[in-house]
Structure 1
Amino acid sequence: MDGRLKVDQRLPTEEELALRFKVSRPTVREALKRLAAQHLIRSRRGPSGGNFVASPAPEEAAQSLANATTLMVAVGDISLDDMATARLELQIVCCRLATEHRTNEHLDAMQRELEQQRDALLTDEEFCASDVRFHRTLVDACGNTLLRFLMHSVVEALQPVSNMIIFRVRDRRAIVEFHEQILASIQLRDAESGSRALTNLAAYTRERYREALERRIERTG
């Protein structure tokens, strides 16, 4: 964490680590297993083998964060309101940056998703997948590595959860219209218009949450 050990640097042996930290070798071995499970070290066999510092893989770390977020939503540690608020505020920041840093490739990718979403024959699963890709591209267009990492859990975890709850009560055409407004704003580099479209999409989604929950209560009541 403090940078004293560099990527690919060889760690001391188990015996040396045990002596340094005044613990048993089984304790050291267990610690090394945990570090390996977190992809922080890697092992190599042979005369020149041992345990070496590994370079963190951003994709694996982001997916781990997304999995943890999904679990927290599932067990109720993160409420739907918290989820919607966080997603909106973070996406507004991403949208503002995207109006400055987007490329033609980003615009083309979002346009392709819109064309798919307009297809009435698209299944609910395919529409949801396209929805995730649309918002993922919006985040990528912001050009900020840390925001992209943090937003991975929002887009990859919370977006599917949201879709799963409201897909029976939403109007696809409404979602597409909001997406069209977002894309147009990014094309025109109009951050204010993009933020407004995202806010309206969030409000629409919240209403569909309430409608879906009311229907669930009616069915179980």
Structure 2
Amino acid sequence: MKGRRQVANGAERRSRPVQVAEAIKDYVVEEGLRMGDRLPGEAELIARFGMSKGTIREAMRILEAQGLVKTRTGPGGGSFVHEVSRERAQALLGNYFYFRDLTLKDIYQMRRWLEPELAASLAGKLTDAQLSRLDAVVETYDHPSSDVEEEREQHIASLRFHQLLAEFARNELLGFVIGFMAQILSDLTIYRRLYEPANPELWEKGRAYQLELLDALRRGDADRARLVMADHMATAEQLMEGQEAEMLKRFLTA
């Protein structure tokens, strides 16, 4: 009856399958189900929510499309709670922004607010293994690029440094948002070819900031980490906007 009441009280404009899908999500939370736990069978869901077989199946398809349910066939099969990966969640969110005209200024406005706080929160908190992973990324662009392809790879690798920092965040929401912004910027860099022409100043200053940041993180100096990241974001925004202006100029004069 509880589930049936949840569906009946759903928003009038939502279809019945959507209402049932939301009610099933509520059920998962109320029962404390975790990834891999089995959901009730179809007959039980029909009885619980008082809906037709077709509505229940469509609700399950909705949840599967959202990545929240995994269905297996054969012996031991059924529907199971599934966890949406960070990569899938970012890809789905990226689809939302696909047709929206995001600008570099939009992205860097967020980065300048959030990334200095992330850096400060990680000072003195990273393990040797995590610091080694960050070191390894910076080492992949320890020299100026020799051609356009290497310039593109170095741009993407430098953003991977920030995605790694986001993965190490203690605050999962903060880490997710920053990682998503780095991915959006990475996609934008490729789509708009912002790695052309080669920009030695962007490479040199960006890498220098990252090395200085790593030093602050190792020493546990939160104030220094915050300041370095703030300067890094301000400089990166200025230089990336210069890249975009140069690309636009080349396009208009081609």
Could you state the TM-score of these two structures normalised by the residue count of structure 1? 0.80
SS of structure 1 residue aligned to 2:124: helix
Output the CA distance in 2 between the equivalents of 1:142 and 1:11. Answer: 32
Q: Does 1:111 align with 2:135?
A: yes
Which residue number corresponds to residue 183 of structure 2? 156
Kindly indicate whether residue 65 of structure 2 is the aligned counterpart of residue 65 of structure 1.
no
- Structure 2 counterpart of 1:134: 161
**1:22 paired residue number:** 50
Q: C-alpha separation between the residues in 2 aligned to 1:72 and 1:206?
A: 24
* 1:191 counterpart residue number: 222
Amino acid at match of 2:178: M
1:39 maps to 67
Aligned residue for 1:200? 231
Displacement of 1:66 after TM fit?
Answer: 2.0
Specify the SS of the correspondent of 1:43.
strand
Deviation, structure 1 residue 96: 0.8
Shift of 1:201: 1.9
What SS is found at the alignment partner of 1:6? coil
Question: Shift in Å at residue 180 of structure 1?
Answer: 1.7
Number of equivalenced pairs: 217
Equivalent position amino acid for 1:154 in 2: M
Counterpart selection for 1:177 from 208, 231, 244: 208
Residue 216 and residue 42 in structure 1: after superposition, are their counterparts in 2 closer, same or farther (change >3 A)? closer
2:14 maps to none
Report the Cα distance in structure 1 between the residues aligned to 2:169 and 2:64, rounded to whole angstroms. Answer: 32
Write the mapping of 1:70-89 to structure 2, written as runs, cut at 5 A.
70-76=94-100, 78-89=102-113
- Is the counterpart of residue 220 in structure 1 residue 252 in structure 2? yes
Across the aligned residues of Structure 1 and Structure 2, the Cα RMSD in angstroms comes to: 2.9
User: 1:67-118, CA deviations, whole angstroms, 9 ceiling, x for partnerless residues?
Assistant: 2443455422544322112123221121111103112222222222222212
Q: CA 1:38 to 1:186, structure 2 compared with 1: closer, same or farther past 3 Å? A: same
User: Which piece of structure 1 moves more, 78-87 or 210-219?
Assistant: 210-219
Matched residue SS, 1:119? coil
Give 1:43 deviation, angstroms.
2.6
Q: Distance in 2 between matches of 1:187 and 1:10?
A: 44
TM-score normalized by the length of structure 2: 0.71
2: CA distance, partners of 1:150 / 1:217: 29
Counterpart Cα distance in 2 of 1:65 and 1:71:
10
TM-superposed CA distance for 1:204, in Å, is: 1.9
Alpha-carbon displacement from aligned partner over 1:133-155 (angstroms, at most 9, x marks no partner)? 32233234444444333433123
SS in 2 for 1:76: coil
Separation (CA, whole Å) in 2 of partners of 1:44 and 1:216: 49
Question: Residues of 1 paired with 2:225 and 2:32: CA distance?
Answer: 44
- 1:11-40 per-position Cα deviation (integer Å, ceiling 9, x unaligned): 343344334433321121111112122232
Offset at 1:124?
1.9
Identity of aligned residues (%): 21
> Does the CA-based 8 Å contact 1:94-1:147 persist in structure 2?
yes
Secondary structure of the residue aligned to 2:179 is: helix
Match for 2:79: what amino acid? N
